[in-house]
Structures are given as structure tokens and as C-alpha cells.
Amino acid sequence: MLSIAIGCDDAAIDMKNQLVEFIKNKGITVVDYSCDQYPELTMYPDIAMRVAQAIKEGEHERGILICGTGIGMSITANKVRGIRAALCHDTFSAQRARKSNNAQIICLGARVIGTELAKVLVDAWLDSEFDGGGSAEKVERISHYENIQHLLS
């Protein structure tokens, strides 16, 4: 069974709550790492790191991160080696995040899109799988550069 980690800061609690219910209604397990569940996680970088690390460690297959714009969550989650987080505001990007980039995390902006669109994007992302093919070499190249940077730092 698919397990989804979700996390949000105070700018996105309402959207997160609606997405949790939406995903649970699909029979998918959701674990909430948001600021309203963990009061010690008050800043979006802390929440993004917690979700990204949980995915990296195999606790969940995928994750959803939501803040005001989704930008900060995306930047932070992508700091975790092996994680690919994609900021999406349209269905094509949500699908391609999985199909072309094998993104384990979708990032959304609660102040940029509405909750109904967020549900559509999450559906598109959940229904998509990595195609491999010509994209596999590109995802491998991303990992190559990530590993080089890790060795240099």
C-alpha cells in the first residue's frame, strides 16, 4: 500500500487538511508532519527536511509539501541527497514530475493555487509513474551531479 508523507507550514494548514482527507478517501495511508501536528516544526525548512528524510529512509514512497508558494519547500527538500521535489501549478507539470523526473515529492503553493486545483494536481501526480526511457539517463545524470557535489563539499 502506498504511503504518503505530507507537511505544511502555517500558510497551508487548511489546504493540507483537505488534501489529507482527499487522499485518505482513496485508501492511501497519509502521515502528517505539519506544523499543527509537530509544534517544534515551526519553519517550512524544518518540515521539508523531515518529510524528505522520511522518504529517503524508506518510511514513505512519496511526499507532498505545501507552503505559501511551494518554492521554499521545494528548495529545501531538494537539499536531501537522492530526493527530487518538484514545484507544480498545472497538471502537465505534475505528471511530468513523475514521468520524466521520478520526483518523489510534489510541492504546492497554497497562496498560488486553490484547494480544488491542488486535488487535481495530486491526482495527476499519484496516477503517474516514472517512464524511464530517454528520461532515465537524465535522472541518472542528476544523481551523478548530486554525488559529485556531495563529494566536493
- pLDDT exceeds cutoff 90 at 147: no
> Is residue 1 predicted with pLDDT exceeding 70?
no
Q: How far apart are the C-alpha atoms of 45 and 59, rounded to whole Å?
A: 19
The residue with greater pLDDT, 15 or 147, is 15
Q: Give mean pLDDT, residues 24-39.
A: 95
Whole-model pTM: value is 0.94
Residue pointed to by grid coordinates 527530487: 84
In this predicted structure, what is the pLDDT of residue 151?
76
Say if CB 112 and CB 87 are below 8 A apart.
no
Amino acid at 133: G
What string of DSSP letters covers 85-106? EEE-SSHHHHHHHHHTT--SEE
Alpha helices (runs of H) in the chain, residue ranges in sequence order: 13-24, 44-56, 71-77, 91-99, 115-126, 133-152
115-137 mean pLDDT: 94
Catalytic residue among 35, 67, 88, 107: 67
- Minimum mean pLDDT range among 61-70, 111-120, 125-134: 125-134
Residue with cell 520524466: 100
Q: Cα–Cα–Cα angle for 128, 67, 111, nearest 5°?
A: 95
Q: Is 67 a catalytic residue?
A: yes
Cα dihedral: 111, 121, 65, 79 (round 10): -110
CA distance 62 to 93: 16
